A = this chain, B = another copy of it.
Amino acid sequence: MLGDVDHPGYVDQQAKLLGRLRRIEGQVRGLARMVEQETYCIDVLTQLSAITKALQGVGLILLDEHLRHCVAGAAASGDQEHTDELVHEATTAVGRLLRS
Contact = CB atoms under 8 A, between A and B. Distances in A.
B88 A64 contact: yes
A45 B24 contact: no
B48 A52 contact: no
Contact of A67 (B18, B31, B67): B67
Interface of A is mostly: helix
Nearest to A68: B87
A52 B55 contact: yes
Given A28-B25, A75-B75, A93-B42, A87 B64 contact: yes
Interface residues of A, number: 69
Given A22-B32, A59-B48, A87-B64, A53 B10 contact: no
Interface of A: 1, 7-11, 14, 17-18, 21-22, 24-25, 28-29, 31-32, 35-36, 38-42, 44-46, 48-53, 55-56, 58-60, 62-68, 70-76, 78, 80, 83-84, 87-91, 93-100
